[in-house]
Every structure is written in C-alpha cells, then in structure tokens.
C-alpha cells in the first residue's frame, strides 16, 4: 500500500501563533517572528524524519503555518510589509521546511490598514522569497463577498505574475483566496493559524489517491455505486488511521498539541497519484465528461465519511483536491479538450476546495480574473462550503500552450477563459450581501 | 507575567552593563549580537541566559496526558515488546530465509511467525518479528534493507502498529 500505491503523509504542519510578536517597530516584529518560528520549529524536520524511519510511512512535506501576518503587522503602521515575508522565509530556511504559510489576511468584510498594506505587499513579498505562501479570505456565508477585495486581489494576482514572469508566474502558485476560509488547514498555500487555535499545534494532511485507485481497480467495473462508495469509505478510513497515528506521535515527540488530520485526496504529478484516474475508474470516459461532477461528489463524500469514522480529529479541508497542474490525468484531460474551465468550475461545487492551479493566458484582464474569483466565491458563499481560487496568468503564454513549473506544482496547459469579461461588475465594487439561509432550493 | 522576547532594540535602549530577563524570555539572535558588540551581559535568575525550552502554550499539559505513549488503548500492546512486519520479495534461491533469520537474530529479536510462498521463480516472504524495544527498530530496518540490497531482493520493514491501528475501529 505504501510502496505501490503511494500512501503517504502529505504534510506535517506545525502551526505557531505569532500574536505575541506584534511590535510598534517593524524590524523588531521581524526579529520576534523569526526567533519564535525557529524556537518552536527547530525540531520539526528531525521529528518527522524519526517517525518516517520508525513507522515506514513516508512524510513528504514538513511545513509551518503561522498567524495571519496582517494581525501582527498593525502596531508598526508600516506600508511595505515585505520585510515580514523575508523574515518568514529566513525562518523557513533555518528550520528546513519547504513552505511557510500565513502571509495572510481576512478581508471578507473590509480592510484594516494592516490588511491593506499586506495585500499591497504581496507581489514584492512573493517575488523576493522562496518558501512563503499567501492567502486571503475574500468571502464567507455570513459576511457575503467583499467585491472591493476581489477587485484588488485580481490586480495583485496579475502584478505577482508580472514580477515572477521569469519562473512562469510561480509567485501566483503561492497565492490563494478563499470563501469560508478554514483556520486549521495544514495544506499550502492556504495554511495559517486562525484566531481560535492554540499557541502551537501539529496538524497532519494525509493523502493517497493511489490507494483509492488500487481499491477501485480491484473492485472492477461491474460493481454498483454503493459498492464504489463503500470501497472508497473503507480506504479513506485506513488512510486516516495512519494519519492519526503519525499526527499523535509527532505531537507527542514535539511536546505540542495535536490538532487535526486533514484527509484530503491530493494528487501529485507522479504517475498513479491522480484524482483524475479515480474518476475515470469510477466510470467517466475522461475527466470533464458528463458524469464527472456526480462521481466527484460521491468521491468527496465517501472520503469524508470514512475519515470521520476513523478519527475524532478530522478537520482542515478534508475531501478531494483537484489542482489541475498537479494531476497528470487532469493535464491530459485538458490537453485532449475533455476538461474545460467551465466544467472545472462545476466540479468545484462538490470538491473540497476549488479552482486550484489553473493557468490562464498572461494577457487575461483583471476583470476576467475577478469574475472567475467572484464566481467561485459565490459557490462557496451560497453552499456554505470552502472554495478557493489559485489562478496563474502566465505571462507570454496563450491558450493551449504548456508551462512547466516542475516538482510538486507540475505542468499546466493554459486554459482559455473565453473572450467575454465583466468590466462593469468589476468596477462597481462594494459587497455582495450574505445569502439567505432558508428557502434552499 | 514575564516578557516574551528581548529584541535588539530593547538591548540598545537599556542602560547599564547587565540586562536581567526572566528564565522563559526568548532573546532574539539579533539581540544577542547587539549585546555582544555592546559588551552587555544578559542574565536570568539562574545565571547567564540560555535559550529556554519552547513554551507550547497552556493546552499542552492536558493534551500530553491524553496523548498516550502509544495510540492503542492501554493493554493492547505486547508487554513492552514491539511487533515488526518484514516482507521480502525476489528471485528464489536457497538460503534466503536463513539470511533473513540470521539478520533478525543478530538484533536479539525473535521470529513469531513466517509465511513463504513461491510463484514461478520468485519468492514472497513475510516474517512477524518481535523486538525488545522500539529503539532497535531503526537499526533492524536499516540492516534488513541493506541485506536485501546486497543479496538482490527487496526487503520492507514496517511497524506492526501501523497495520493494527489502520484496521481497528
């Protein structure tokens, strides 16, 4: 299961609250956050290594999540918060983690001075750091959608793409926005430590699309859909148990609180580690064909049910991720014309996150990006679910061209958002009011 | 309530040649650097400053009581011993089982159960091994995997706990 079907612990993420690091002096804030992260995170990699060795289960990534930086940047009154990102980056390098996430702000209803400064600092911050990830809460079911924030965020996405053009707009792969943001999410780019979280907390993300695929292969095409759901549920149960075992052991060895297991089927570009393969085994010809949304709904629900049965600490995003560029099967589906941007949006209504790692042409206008984001935020807002957008306008690339990021981020085929935009909506600004919670039809 | 951090700025603003901090205050590397260059000593009630153990917050004391040494309920373990599942796959030839049992024996571990199957020219072997303390696991795993590399078969070593925990409600 571990070797052939790539069952792994996708991430052990140490959450560190930085609320006590706020300081009127920006330089001192940087000093404090660097010191606190290194102080608490120093043993993370060694502990992950030791558990990997003792249990024989690979732990692919070690990461750190921190309090949204906007919350601690306020007292300094600084306009440019890039130095805080640099301090996070330096701490990540010192500790040896691959990503540090939490260059973030909650702006679903409006901006504080610090939130605004943080959003404006994002392009520079992401262009000048290697490991920092940034996320923004732009909407929620209770607050509605802050369209002023959507508008500025879409421009910031384009600016980040421009500043990181030499790496295929890699900066945008580390920038994500959310509706109904999850405060204990261990997966980057959206990881951070929400306001209700403890001083330090160890969260674990488990994956294993390959294991589910293996189980479905053994089940064969003759079984009915209850049997398919049952097999996925049982498999998710096993994966989650391994996650809980590792998470509790890691928390014990780090002497910290154990937070949650996030049981998310997350693909990687490796062959066989694909959500698309699962959907196709479930019975659609190609991912994106009619039936895909229904099969994804079954998959996400069965994963959640198996996970919840296996552990009382299930949290985070838990479900199925569909990051296009990170999934070999999805890349092929886009290449073959099976998976359009519109179908992908439909799939996000039932997956656990949203439009993830979608490449669009570099000359896409801000209003089109804002429209795509607003649509996705609306799906999350109305359906009381988490949705996210991680969109990458790749400079110099047009529809159907390929962009290679390598590593975990994979390969993307640039998708065509169509020739129509939403300029007037974009310029209106304001806020989409929170939706009514009854009359749900 | 003690101060959480001492920064370079704090050191620059302090007067005198000694700064006294609480034992759980964390002094930033930059503050240590400035103090060194200014000839200022940073002390605590216990003497010269040393970095304190990380304070993981008020939840941790309770949490650690609940997080038992093993994830299994008490009483389900093997009386202090650990079970290890060793699997080996490769081209069959005489002596494979002997090599593996000798390597296991060298670690003062005992074989509780063996299953072996040959399919065509290939063997598949599963050993359930009992080792005395979990500290030996890493070395046993490394040695068995190395043995496989030298003798041209694949050996995989996993804690029995992983399997047990995975299949229990």
Residue A409 token pair: 């981020």
Is residue B88 assigned to a domain?
A: yes
Using a CB–CB cutoff of 8 Å, tell me whether B76 touches chain A. Answer: no
Residue A138 token pair: 């732009």
Q: Which residue among A35, A57, A257 places its CB closest to the CB of B26?
A: A35
Closest residue in A to B133 (Cα–Cα): A54
Question: In this structure, are B96 and B151 located in the same domain?
Answer: yes
Question: In this structure, are B50 and B107 located in the same domain?
Answer: no
pLDDT of residue B67: 56
pLDDT of residue B65: 59
Q: Which residue among B27, B57, B162 places its CB closest to the CB of A55?
A: B162
pLDDT of residue A233: 93
Query: pLDDT by residue (tens digit) across B3-53?
Result: 889 999 999 998 888 999 999 899 999 999 999 999 999 999 988 999 999
pLDDT band at residue B165, thresholds of 50, 70 and 90?
Answer: confident
Is residue B107 assigned to a domain?
A: yes
Closest residue in B to A197 (Cα–Cα): B59
The domain tally of chain B equals 2
Low-confidence spans in chain A with pLDDT less than 70? 1-6
Residue A373 token pair: 């984001």
Taking CB atoms and an 8 Å limit, are B137 and A54 in contact across chains?
yes
Pick the more confident residue, B83 or A21.
A21
* Cα distance between residue B113 and residue B130, in whole Å: 10
Q: Which residue among B4, B54, B56 places its CB closest to the CB of A257?
A: B56
Q: Which of A5, A200, A201, A245 to mutate to test the interface with B (most CBs of B within 10 A)?
A: A245
* Cα distance between residue A254 and residue A246, in whole Å: 12
Is residue B156 assigned to a domain?
A: yes
Q: Tell me, what CATH number does B108's domain have?
A: 3.30.70.260
Taking CB atoms and an 8 Å limit, are B165 and A198 in contact across chains?
no
Is residue B66 assigned to a domain?
A: no
B71-97 burial: b if 16+ Cβ within 10 Å, else e? beeeeeeeeeebbbbbebebeeeeebe
Where a domain ends, among B14, B38, B54? B54
Question: In this structure, are B26 and B97 located in the same domain?
Answer: no
Taking CB atoms and an 8 Å limit, are A53 and B141 in contact across chains?
yes
Q: Which of A54, A57, A238 to mutate to test the interface with B (most CBs of B within 10 A)?
A: A54
Is residue B142 assigned to a domain?
A: yes
Question: In this structure, are B89 and B151 located in the same domain?
Answer: yes
pLDDT of residue A180: 95
Assembly ipTM = 0.80
Question: In this structure, are B144 and B105 located in the same domain?
Answer: yes
Q: Is A135 helix (H, G, I), strand (E, B) or coil?
A: strand
Is residue B103 assigned to a domain?
A: yes
Using a CB–CB cutoff of 8 Å, tell me whether B4 touches chain A. Answer: yes
Taking CB atoms and an 8 Å limit, are B71 and A200 in contact across chains?
no
* Unique residue bearing structure tokens 């030499």: A166
Using a CB–CB cutoff of 8 Å, tell me whether B103 touches chain A. Answer: no
Question: In this structure, are B135 and B86 located in the same domain?
Answer: yes
Q: Residue B119 is part of which domain span? A: 82-166
Interface residues on A facing B, Cβ-Cβ cutoff 8 A: 2-3, 17, 20-21, 23, 25, 27-28, 31-32, 34-36, 39-40, 50, 53-57, 198-200, 238, 241-242, 244-245, 248-249, 251-252, 254-258, 309
| DSSP codes, A383-401 | TT--EEEEEEEETT--TT-
Counted across chains A and B, CB pairs separated by less than 8 A come out at: 115
Query: pLDDT by residue (tens digit) across A148-173?
Result: 999 999 999 999 999 999 999 999 99
Question: In this structure, are B87 and B42 located in the same domain?
Answer: no
Closest residue in B to A312 (Cα–Cα): B169
Q: Which of B63, B76, B144 to mutate to test the interface with A (most CBs of A within 10 A)?
A: B63
Pairing between β-strand A132-140 and β-strand A99-106 as defined by DSSP bridges: parallel
pLDDT of residue A160: 97
Residue A257 token pair: 């609180």
pLDDT band at residue B64, thresholds of 50, 70 and 90?
Answer: low
Taking CB atoms and an 8 Å limit, are B63 and A199 in contact across chains?
no
* Residues A288 and A338: beta-carbon distance below 8 Å: yes
Using alpha carbons, select from B27, B30, B25, B32 the residue that is nearest to residue B55: B25
Q: Which of B13, B58, B59, B73 to mutate to test the interface with A (most CBs of A within 10 A)?
A: B59
Q: Which residue among B30, B69, B165 places its CB closest to the CB of A31?
A: B30
* Cα distance between residue A18 and residue A68, in whole Å: 8
pLDDT of residue A4: 47
Question: In this structure, are B31 and B86 located in the same domain?
Answer: no
Q: Quick check: bond before A302 cis, omega within 30?
A: no
Using a CB–CB cutoff of 8 Å, tell me whether B164 touches chain A. Answer: no
Question: In this structure, are B88 and B46 located in the same domain?
Answer: no
Question: In this structure, are B104 and B158 located in the same domain?
Answer: yes
Is residue B67 assigned to a domain?
A: no
Question: What mean pLDDT do residues B59-84 have?
Answer: 60
State the average pLDDT for chain B.
83
Is residue B11 assigned to a domain?
A: yes
Question: In this structure, are B89 and B159 located in the same domain?
Answer: yes
Question: In this structure, are B42 and B92 located in the same domain?
Answer: no
């Amino acid at each position: 299961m571990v070797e052939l079907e790539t069952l792994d612990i996708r991430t052990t993420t140490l959450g560190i609250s930085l609320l006590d690091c706020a300081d009127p002096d920006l330089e001192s804030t940087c000093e404090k956050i660097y010191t606190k992260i290194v102080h608490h995170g120093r043993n993370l990699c060694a502990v992950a290594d030791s558990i990997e060795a003792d249990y024989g289960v690979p732990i692919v990534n070690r990461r750190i999540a921190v309090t949204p930086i906007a919350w601690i940047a306020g007292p300094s009154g600084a306009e440019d918060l890039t130095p805080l990102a640099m301090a996070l980056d330096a701490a990540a390098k010192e500790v040896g983690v691959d990503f540090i996430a939490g260059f973030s702000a909650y702006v679903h209803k409006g901006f504080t001075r610090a939130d605004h400064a943080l959003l404006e600092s994002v392009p520079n911050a992401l262009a000048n750091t290697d490991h920092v990830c940034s996320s923004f809460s732009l909407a929620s079911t209770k607050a509605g959608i802050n369209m002023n924030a959507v508008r500025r965020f879409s421009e910031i996405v384009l600016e980040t793409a421009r500043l990181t053009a030499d790496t295929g707009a890699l900066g945008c792969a580390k920038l994500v926005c959310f509706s109904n943001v999850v405060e204990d999410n261990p997966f980057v780019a959206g990881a951070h430590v929400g306001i209700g979280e403890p001083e330090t907390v160890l969260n674990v993300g488990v994956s294993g699309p390959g294991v589910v695929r293996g189980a479905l292969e053994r089940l064969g095409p003759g079984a009915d859909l209850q049997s398919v759901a049952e097999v996925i549920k049982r498999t998710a149960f096993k994966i989650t148990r391994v996650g809980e075992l590792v998470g509790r052991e890691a928390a014990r060895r780090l002497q910290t609180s154990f937070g949650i297991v996030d049981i998310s089927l997350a693909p990687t570009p490796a062959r066989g580690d694909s959500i698309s393969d699962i959907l196709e085994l479930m019975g659609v010809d190609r991912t994106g064909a009619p039936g895909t949304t229904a099969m994804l709904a079954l998959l996400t629900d069965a994963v959640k049910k198996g996970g919840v049965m296996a552990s009382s600490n299930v949290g985070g995003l838990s479900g199925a991720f569909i990051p296009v560029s990170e999934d070999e099967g999805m890349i092929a589906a886009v290449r073959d014309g099976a998976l359009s941007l519109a179908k992908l949006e439909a799939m996000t209504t039932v997956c656990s996150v949203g439009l993830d790692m979608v490449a669009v042409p570099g000359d896409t206008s801000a209003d089109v990006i804002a429209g795509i984001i607003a649509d996705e935020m609306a799906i999350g807002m109305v359906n009381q679910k988490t949705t996210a957008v991680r969109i990458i306008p790749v400079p110099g690339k047009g529809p159907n061209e390929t962009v290679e990021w390598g590593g975990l981020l994979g390969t993307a085929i640039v998708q065509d958002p169509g020739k129509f935009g939403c300029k007037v909506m974009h310029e209106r600004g304001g806020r989409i009011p929170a939706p009514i919670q009854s009359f749900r039809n | 309530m003690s101060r959480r951090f001492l920064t370079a700025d704090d050191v620059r603003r302090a007067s005198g040649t000694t700064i006294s901090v609480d034992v759980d205050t964390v002094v930033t590397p930059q503050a240590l650097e400035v103090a060194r260059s200014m000839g200022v000593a940073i002390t605590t009630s216990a003497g010269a400053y040393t970095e304190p153990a990380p304070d993981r917050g008020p939840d941790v004391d309770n949490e650690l009581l609940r997080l038992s040494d093993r994830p299994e309920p008490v009483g389900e373990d093997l009386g202090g011993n650990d079970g290890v599942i060793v699997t080996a796959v490769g081209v069959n030839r005489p002596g494979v089982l002997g090599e593996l049992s000798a390597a296991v024996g060298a670690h003062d571990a005992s074989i509780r159960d063996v299953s072996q199957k040959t399919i065509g020219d290939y063997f598949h072997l599963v050993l359930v091994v009992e080792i005395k303390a979990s500290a030996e696991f890493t070395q046993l795993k490394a040695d068995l995997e190395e043995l496989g590399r030298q003798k041209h078969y694949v050996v995989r070593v996993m804690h029995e706990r992983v399997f047990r925990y995975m299949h229990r409600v």
